[in-house]
Chain A
């Protein structure tokens, strides 16, 4: 009897130990350790691979326009064919057998397929999790703590991690496709897209694991949306208390991690106030953040909308725009780097206070009180290659901030699902610049005769190439050849150059040319075919002929990070004279003037004898 009881007690103890042991397992997602160095392989392997379950994902290697190319991503081990500039990828997410979402990251060499990676063991402040679900991007020289190019075409690729610099391309984008609203009516939730994650079955850490999800959801559904919900479920699709969602409320030493108006927002560069830190200028459209109010905390579901954050988004464009109605803008590639985001300078549409039925036109932003651009600006934008017309995609992209709390991997069978479902808006009226089928492409207006332009404007970075332009039918002497005309460019520091402009086409009557700007601490040299400027110099181009006269100006600035670029390519502080020296500040060497003065100076010890 005693022996039997001993066996029972032993058996119960074993079962109890097993149960206790199993419940001690927690929810670490398979991925990269933030502290581990990048390991280069041949063929290349996706950093942080394995956490995103690709069972229902088709990873296509594409060009930058997402046309499929004949390269392969191996969803089994994360290896992929070597990529080159011009390659990209698109991961098609299937749910219930339907292609419902496309996941995009940055083009190679900034990003790599498949588009989502998991980073564990990072170290963040302000209550944010030390782990994250983020996109598969790499660090620029500016963002890389090592101070060197960390893109995939460099010798030392450096993957982004949770704590990487602000705006270093950490969010993955899920384009919500038409299948997510198919068969649904306005006012209803659409069809969900599931993103599945694999937990590490060997993880024996007893604590729940928190992951910040760095994500955007983009409206490519074809209809206006006014909300969304995010759910977390176990592998069977059921609510499971072992995995929950959090909005970070009270998780920053009792304070909230994110403010109420920053949990689901459109681009801060378009809608948001300057903060003197991350955003030096106010948003293009508004100083009030645009986005949706979010609710739900420590539950399996959080919802966004239909209440908005109070910006002028709806006054400008209506409810959350679908891609077919994204507005057109004019962008300035301020750093002449296609890998970085360009700045919006104008958009095609109506001002937020415009009466219903107002025809669309070109407008500058809120800071310029929605002014219509001048002919000079249109001229600059049409002739300077750094200005381009394009769609303002950020009006579709809602950035989300939330946390997934992952508990026992045993209770979750080593998988969990993040399910995203859009909510369809009741109002499906097209915006002013579009019809039911899509946006109507605008064109730049015909420029009236006579304006002169200088760009970049209103400011340029010293070292930039300045583009000078004139529209003048008088100077189009021969419609069969490219005619020329001249302008005068001056600075308030005394530089003056006469520049010959050449007609852009044989009969365009638009003339342009470029001139380099260069920093100088000496007095400017006139006629040296470059604009010698200092910080805050005003550069003015003037055009005068028999029938027209016009001027345009721009202001010199310096970007600290580009200081090396702002200085001439020789590496010297250009024309390092200043202070009124008698040597030639532009020759960067001693000339006859210097030797004459120096020889005179050498007579100093003998002057008394000489004078006698």
Chain B
């Protein structure tokens, strides 16, 4: 419920034009992959495997404010992977969300929160771009 509520709120406050839901309906398959499938795959790989491996190796180092070394390192890798297919600006923009995904993963000791956040983030991106 949070994503659609957020989008509608965002649009009512800041957007100048209504959402074009006709565009959204064009490609349900693409939206499925983008909002449901890829967040699961990416979170399993990055927060589920990479961040845990790095955390095991760096547990002796203290956290940098709220963000552990493992979280920061994983986010750097996450950004690096995005350089492959995206512009530098776009790739760099995923750093902060990645840190937040990692923070929630550590706080809840589960990747489910980060998966849901990732889904929410992707959904927001799509809706805001279309609108």
Tell whether A563 is near chain B: CB-to-CB under 8 Å.
Answer: yes
Tell whether A357 is near chain B: CB-to-CB under 8 Å.
Answer: no
Query: B interface, by DSSP: helix, strand, loop or mixed?
Result: helix
Complex alpha-carbon distance, A123 and B86, angstroms: 56
Tell whether A182 is near chain B: CB-to-CB under 8 Å.
Answer: no
| Segment of B6-14, B44-52, B62-70 in the binding face | B44-52
Q: In chain B between 1 and 45, which residues have their CB closer than 8 angstroms to a CB of chain A?
A: 17, 20, 22-23, 26-27, 29-31, 33-35, 38, 40-45
Q: B22: which A residues are within 8 A, CB to CB?
A: 560, 563
Inter-chain pairs besides A583-B38, A597-B81, A601-B49, 17 sampled, C-beta below 8 Å: A521-B34, A522-B86, A523-B89, A535-B131, A558-B23, A563-B20, A567-B26, A572-B29, A576-B33, A576-B34, A578-B122, A579-B38, A579-B123, A579-B126, A582-B85, A593-B81, A601-B43
Query: A interface, by DSSP: helix, strand, loop or mixed?
Result: loop
Known A573-B26, A576-B33, A597-B41: A607·B85 in contact at CB below 8 Å: no
Is B48 within 8 A of A582, CB to CB? Answer: no
What are the 3 tightest A-B residue pairs by CB atom distance, in nearest-first order? A579-B122, A576-B30, A601-B44
Q: A356: which B residues are within 8 A, CB to CB?
A: none
Is A580 within 8 A of B97, CB to CB? Answer: yes
Known A577-B34, A601-B49, A611-B53: A584·B85 in contact at CB below 8 Å: yes
Is B90 within 8 A of A598, CB to CB? Answer: no
Q: In chain B between 107 and 121, which residues have their CB closer than 8 angstroms to a CB of chain A?
A: 111, 121
8 CB contacts below 8 A, A to B, read A525-B85, A534-B130, A535-B131, A558-B23, A567-B23, A578-B125, A579-B34, A583-B38
Q: B52: which A residues are within 8 A, CB to CB?
A: 607, 611
Complex alpha-carbon distance, A575 and B115, angstroms: 22
Q: B85: which A residues are within 8 A, CB to CB?
A: 523, 525, 577, 582-586, 593
Is A581 within 8 A of B87, CB to CB? Answer: no
Q: Nearest-CB distance from B42 to chain A (Å)? A: 6
Size class of A's contact patch? Answer: 35 or more
Known A523-B90, A611-B52: A600·B45 in contact at CB below 8 Å: yes
Is A607 within 8 A of B53, CB to CB? Answer: yes
Complex alpha-carbon distance, A535 and B34, angstroms: 20
Tell whether A450 is near chain B: CB-to-CB under 8 Å.
Answer: no
From B30, B81, B111, contact of A573 by CB (8 A): B30
Is A580 within 8 A of B49, CB to CB? Answer: no
Q: Please, how many residues of chain B have a CB less than 8 angstroms from a CB on the other chain?
A: 47
Known A521-B129, A580-B97, A600-B49: A526·B26 in contact at CB below 8 Å: no
Q: B17: which A residues are within 8 A, CB to CB?
A: 535
Is A494 within 8 A of B30, CB to CB? Answer: no
* Chain B, residue nearest A560 (CB): B22
Q: B129: which A residues are within 8 A, CB to CB?
A: 521, 534, 578
Tell whether A82 is near chain B: CB-to-CB under 8 Å.
Answer: no
Q: Nearest-CB distance from A530 to chain B (Å)? A: 15
Tell whether A524 is near chain B: CB-to-CB under 8 Å.
Answer: yes
Is A580 within 8 A of B26, CB to CB? Answer: no
Q: B89: which A residues are within 8 A, CB to CB?
A: 494, 523
Is B48 within 8 A of A581, CB to CB? Answer: no
Is B130 within 8 A of A521, CB to CB? Answer: yes
* Chain A, residue nearest B28 (CB): A573
Tell whether B94 is near chain A: CB-to-CB under 8 Å.
Answer: yes
Q: Nearest-CB distance from B47 to chain A (Å)? A: 9
Question: Which one of A585, A593, A607 has the highest number of Cβ atoms from chain B below 10 Å of its Cβ?
Answer: A607
Q: Nearest-CB distance from A435 to chain B (Å)? A: 49
Is B41 within 8 A of A558, CB to CB? Answer: no
Complex alpha-carbon distance, A567 and B52, angstroms: 41
Known A573-B30, A597-B45, A600-B45: A579·B87 in contact at CB below 8 Å: no
Complex alpha-carbon distance, A572 and B129, angstroms: 16
Q: Nearest-CB distance from B49 to chain A (Å)? A: 5
Complex alpha-carbon distance, A603 and B46, angstroms: 11
Complex alpha-carbon distance, A576 and B122, angstroms: 11
